[in-house]
Amino acid sequence: MGERSFGAGVIIAPSILSADFASLETAAGEIDASGAEWLHFDVMDGCFVPNLTFGPKTAADLRPRSRALFDVHLMVARPDVLIRGFAEAGAGFITFHPEAEVHSHRTLMSIKELGKKAGISIVPSTPVGAIEELLPFADLVLVMTVNPGFGGQKLIPRCLEKVKTLVQIREKQRYGFLVSVDGGINEETAAGAREAGADVLVAGSAFFNAADKAALVRTLRGN
Ligand code: DX5
Ligand code: ZN
């Protein structure tokens, strides 16, 4: 399922970081059943962030077991070495951190050359100004509202100001990127992220801790 046009209601992307890693096929099925459109893959290398998760083979093995678009979030020191693997595994969006790659324009273009949507993600301490030169080429900007590495953290409200700034720039310059918010999204914080202008909401712990996942997805969407 692809991305929607702007303003057509937010896309919900549950993160399997908060799922039971011994039952990822079940988690993928829960995401499909909940009505969420995307499956958010938090790839961590224990270097760029102090945690370690999974690689392209996990995505490839899950691909035939999920109807969701795979939204791959590379929190890794060397994104260039993983892009092809995730593209071949069936990713829809591949998002990396320009903080990890000096030649970010080249990395962004390499994702697009593989026929995938290219995203950039910024951590709480990175200002929007640092990625201004990449915005004309990006299909998605993922604003981290927690320090990356772990699920279950509290959203940092100040980070939502970057969402507003990105939406203003997109409108002024007529760019085409989606804005995603990632970290601490739950029943309490989703409205603020939507009001700031988010097109996509990533939710890990809120989703996998919810007894009724379809009801949570509706709540995050504002329905
Ligand atoms: C954090 C990841 C987030 C995280 C979100 O480094 O990028 O996607 O899994 O988890 P919650 O929704 O629990 O904050
Ligand atoms: Zn993420």
Write down the domain spans for the chain: 11-221
Flag whether pLDDT at 3 surpasses 50: no
Q: What is the rounded CA–CA span in Å between residue 181 and residue 142? A: 6
* Stretch 6-18: mean pLDDT: 87
Confidence of residue 39 (pLDDT cuts 50, 70, 90): very high
The single-letter code of the amino acid at 36 is A
Flag whether pLDDT at 2 surpasses 70: no
Residue minimizing CA distance to atom 4 of ligand 1: 151
Q: Considering only CA atoms, which of 1, 33, 28 is closest in space to residue 15?
A: 28
Q: Mutate which of 21, 202, 207 to test ligand 1's pocket (most atoms within 8 Å of Cβ)?
A: 202
**Cα 58 to chain centroid, rounded:** 17
14 alpha carbon, closest ligand: 1
The count of C-alpha atoms lying within 13 angstroms of the C-alpha of 161, restricted to the half-sphere facing its C-beta, is 9
- The rounded percent of the chain whose pLDDT value lies above 90 is 96
Q: What is the rounded CA–CA span in Å between residue 49 and residue 43? A: 10
11-221 CATH:
3.20.20.70
* Stretch 10-20: mean pLDDT: 98
Q: What is the rounded CA–CA span in Å between residue 54 and residue 7? A: 33
CB 78 within 8 A of CB 100: yes
pTM to 2 decimals?
Answer: 0.96
Confidence of residue 150 (pLDDT cuts 50, 70, 90): very high
- DSSP E strand stretches across the chain: 11-14, 38-44, 69-75, 93-96, 117-122, 140-144, 178-182, 200-203
17 alpha carbon, closest ligand: 1
Q: What is the rounded CA–CA span in Å between residue 219 and residue 36? A: 12
* Stretch 122-136: mean pLDDT: 98
| 20 tagged catalytic | no
Marked catalytic residue, from 45, 182, 199, 212: 182
Q: What is the rounded CA–CA span in Å between residue 74 and residue 108? A: 12
Confidence of residue 5 (pLDDT cuts 50, 70, 90): very low
Q: What is the rounded CA–CA span in Å between residue 148 and residue 7? A: 27
- The rounded percent of the chain whose pLDDT value lies above 70 is 96
Angle made by CA atoms 214, 217, 223, in degrees to the nearest 5: 105
Query: In degrees to the nearest 10, what's the CA dihedral of 165, 169, 129, 13?
Result: 60
Question: CA separation (Å) from 123 to 97, 129, 151?
Answer: 8, 13, 14
Confidence of residue 9 (pLDDT cuts 50, 70, 90): confident
* Stretch 68-97: mean pLDDT: 98
CA 185 to ligand 1: nearest atom: 12
Q: How far is the CA of 124 from the centre of ligand 2 (A)?
A: 13
Q: Considering only CA atoms, which of 124, 59, 62 is closest in space to residue 93?
A: 59
Q: How far is the CA of 165 from the centre of ligand 1 (A)?
A: 22
- Residue-level pLDDT at 143: 99
| 199 tagged catalytic | no
